[in-house]
Structure 1
Amino acid sequence: MATAVTANRAELLAIADAVAREKSIDRMIVIEAMEDAIQKGARAKYGQENDIRAKMDPQSGEVRLWRVLEVVEAAEDQFTQVSLTKAKTMDGEAELGGFVIDPLPPIEFGRIAAQAAKQTIVQKVRDAERDRQFEEFKDRIGEITTGIVKRVEFGHVVVDLGRAEGVIRRDEQIPRELLRVGDRVRCYIKDVRREVRGPQIFLSRAAGEFMKKLFAQEVPEIYDGIIEIKAVARDPGSRAKIGVISYDGSIDPVGACVGMKGSRVQAVVQELQGEKIDIIPWSEDTATFVVNALQPAEVAKVVIDEDESRIEVVVPDDQLSLAIGRRGQNVRLASQISGHQIDILTEDEESERRQKEFTERSDLFMEELELDETLAQLLVAEGFAELEEVAYIEQEELAAIEGLDEEIAEELQSRAVEALERREAKYREERRALGVDDALAEIEGLSEKMLVTLGEKGIKTLDDLGDLATDELVGRGNRNAGIEEGFLRQYDVSEEDANRIIMAARAHWFDDEPAAEDTAAQNTADAADGEVADADSDQ
Structure 2
Amino acid sequence: MAITSANQLELLQTAEAVAREKMIDPGLVIEAMEESLARAAKSRYGSEMDIRVHIDRKTGRATFTRVRTVVEEEELENYQAEFTADQAEDYFEQPKPGSVWMRDGEEVTEFAGKPQVGDTFEEIVPPVEMGRIAAQSAKQVILQKVREAERDKQYEDFKDRAGTIINAQVKREEYGNVIVDVGTGEAILRRNEKIGRESYRPNDRIRCYIKDVRREQRGPQIFLSRTDPQFMAELFKMEVPEIYEGIIEIKAVARDPGSRAKIAVISYDNSIDPVGACVGMRGSRVQAVVNELQGEKIDIIPWNEDMPTFLVNALQPAEVSKVVFDEDAERIEVVVPEEQLSLAIGRRGQNVRLASQLTGLDIDILTEEEESKRRQAEFEVRTKLFMETLDLDEFFAQLLVSEGFTTLEEVAYVEVDELLVIDGVDEATAGELQARARDVIDAQNAKALENARELGVEDSLLAFEGLTPQMIEALAKDGVKTLEDFATCADWELAGGWTVVDGERSKDDGSLEPFDITLEEAQDMIMTARVMLGWVDPDELLSSDEDDDADVEEEQEA
Identify the TM-score tier after normalising by the shorter chain. Answer: 0.7 to 0.9
2:15 corresponds to which residue?
Answer: 16
Q: What secondary structure sits across from 2:365 in the alignment? A: strand
Aligned partners of 2:497, 2:221: CA distance in 1, in Å? 33
Cα distance in 2 for residues equivalent to 1:221 and 1:108: 68
2:330 to 278, 294, 309: 309
1:323-370 Cα offsets, whole Å, 9 max, x none, are 111111111111221222222111111222222222221221222222
With over 3 angstroms needed to count, the CA separation of the structure-2 counterparts of 1:42 and 1:282, relative to structure 1, is same
Letter in 2 for 1:266: Q
TM-score w.r.t. the length of structure 2 is 0.80
Matches within 5 A, 1:199-214: 199-214=220-235
Contact kept, 8 Å, 1:192 with 1:199, in 2: the verdict is: yes
Q: Give the direction of change, closer, same or farther, for the CA distance of 1:139–1:479 in structure 2 (3 Å limit).
A: closer
Q: In structure 2, what is the Cα distance between the partners aligned to 1:211 and 1:471? A: 37
Check if 1:495 corresponds to 2:519: yes
Determine if contact 1:280/1:292 at 8 Å carries over to the other structure.
yes
CA distance in 2, matches of 1:444, 1:220: 60
Q: Distance in 2 between matches of 1:71 and 1:478?
A: 59
- Judged with a 3 Å threshold, the aligned counterparts in structure 2 of structure 1 residues 439 and 17 are, in CA distance, closer, same or farther, namely same
How far apart in 2 are the matches of 1:317 and 1:95? 98
- Preserved contact between residue 4 and residue 65 of structure 1 (Cα < 8 Å): no
- Worse-superposed segment, 430-439 or 348-357: 430-439
Cα distance in structure 2, aligned partners of 1:215 and 1:71: 65
* Amino acid aligned to 1:129: E
Matched, 1:102 2:123: yes
Is the Cα contact below 8 Å between 1:71 and 1:84 reproduced in 2? no
The one-letter amino acid of 2:57's match is P
Contact persistence 1:424–1:448 (CA under 8 A): yes
Instruction: Encode CA deviations 1:360-386: one digit per residue, 9 max, x unaligned.
Output: 212212222223333322222222212
What amino acid is the match of 2:344?
A
CA contact (8 A) 1:94 1:100 kept: no
Pair 478,460 (structure 1): closer, same or farther in 2 beyond 3 Å: farther
Q: Secondary structure at the match of 2:251?
A: strand
Q: Structure 2: how far apart are the matches of 1:215 and 1:352?
A: 44
User: Which whole-Å CA distance do the structure 1 matches of 2:378 and 2:79 have between them?
Assistant: 94
Closer/same/farther in 2, CA of residues 473 and 278 from structure 1, 3 Å limit: same
Q: Which residue of 2 aligns with 1:264?
A: 285
Q: CA RMSD in A?
A: 3.4
Contact 1:148 1:184 in 2 (8 A): yes
Q: Does the Cα contact within 8 Å between 1:190 and 1:202 map onto a contact in 2?
A: yes
Q: 1:208 to 1:484 in 2, by over 3 A?
A: same
Equivalent of 2:136, from 107, 115, 129? 115
1:165 to 186, 205, 221: 186
Cα distance 1:132–1:320, how it changes in 2: closer, same or farther (>3 A)?
Answer: same
> For residue 84 of structure 1, what is the amino acid of its counterpart?
F
Alignment of 1:424 onto 2:423 = no
Aligned to 1:525: none
One-letter identity of the residue aligned with 1:95: E
Q: 2:109 aligned with 1:86, yes or no? A: no
Taking the TM superposition and a 5 Å limit, the aligned residue runs for 1:121-136 are 121-136=142-157
Whole-Å Cα distance in 2 between the matches of residues 433 and 181 of structure 1? 77
Q: Deviations over 1:190-229 (max 9, x none)?
A: 2222233322222221121111110111112222222222
CA offset at residue 251 of structure 1? 2.3
- Residue 32 of structure 2 is aligned to residue 33 of structure 1: yes
In the alignment, the residues of structure 1 paired with residue 155 and residue 373 of structure 2 have an alpha-carbon distance, to the nearest angstrom, of 61
Structure 1 spans left out of the alignment, 5+ residues: 512-539
CA distance in 2, matches of 1:44, 1:137: 39
- Contact 1:87/1:100 (<8 A) preserved: no
Is 1:312–1:342's contact at 8 Å kept on the other side of the alignment? yes
Deviates more, 1:312-321 or 1:410-419: 410-419
1:47 matched residue in structure 2: 46
Quickly say closer, same or farther: Cα 1:450–1:198, change in 2 above 3 A.
Answer: farther
State the match for 2:362 in structure 1. Answer: 341
Change (3 A) 1:413 1:219: same
Q: Aligned AA for 2:91?
A: S
Alpha-carbon separation, structure 2, partners of 1:33 and 1:156: 34
Q: Is contact 1:445–1:497 with CA below 8 Å preserved after alignment?
A: no
For normalisation by structure 1, the TM-score amounts to 0.83
CA distance in 2 between partners of 1:246 and 1:69 (Å): 70
- State the partner residue of 1:486: 509
Alignment CA distance shift 1:363-1:245 (3 Å) = same
| Greater Cα shift, 458-467 or 443-452 | 458-467
Where 2:129 maps in the other structure, the secondary structure is coil
Q: CA deviation at 1:387?
A: 1.7
AA matched with 1:329 = Q
Query: Is 2:301–2:313's contact at 8 Å kept on the other side of the alignment?
Result: yes
CA distance in 2, matches of 1:483, 1:375: 41
Matches of 1:316 and 1:79, distance apart in 2: 87
Please give the secondary structure, in 1, of the residue aligned with 2:401: helix
What is the SS of the residue equivalent to 1:175? coil
Question: In the TM superposition, what whole-angstrom CA distance separates every residue of 1:2-56 from its partner, at most 9, and x where no partner exists?
Answer: x955772333223212221232211111111111111222122222343322111
Q: How far apart, in 1, do the equivalents of 2:209 and 2:299 lie? A: 21
Which residue identity is paired with 1:415?
Answer: R
Which residue identity lines up with residue 42 of structure 1 in the other structure?
A
* Partner SS, residue 272 of structure 2: coil
Deviates more, 1:30-39 or 1:251-260: 251-260
Aligned pair count? 507
Structure 1 residues 485 and 11 mapped into 2: Cα distance closer, same or farther (>3 Å)?
Answer: same
Do residues 273 (structure 1) and 326 (structure 2) align? Answer: no
Q: Name whichever of 383-392 and 213-222 sits farther off.
A: 383-392
Amino acid paired to 2:236: F
SS at match of 1:42: helix
SS at 1:140's partner residue? coil
Percent sequence identity over aligned pairs: 58
Classify 1:307/1:88 alpha carbon distance in 2 versus 1 (closer, same or farther; 3 Å).
Answer: closer
Unaligned 5+ segments in structure 2 are: 72-77, 83-87, 101-107, 536-558
Q: Distance in 1 between matches of 2:355 and 2:496?
A: 25
**Aligned CA distance change for structure 1 residues 83 and 245 (closer, same or farther; 3 Å):** closer
Preserved contact between residue 315 and residue 345 of structure 1 (Cα < 8 Å): yes
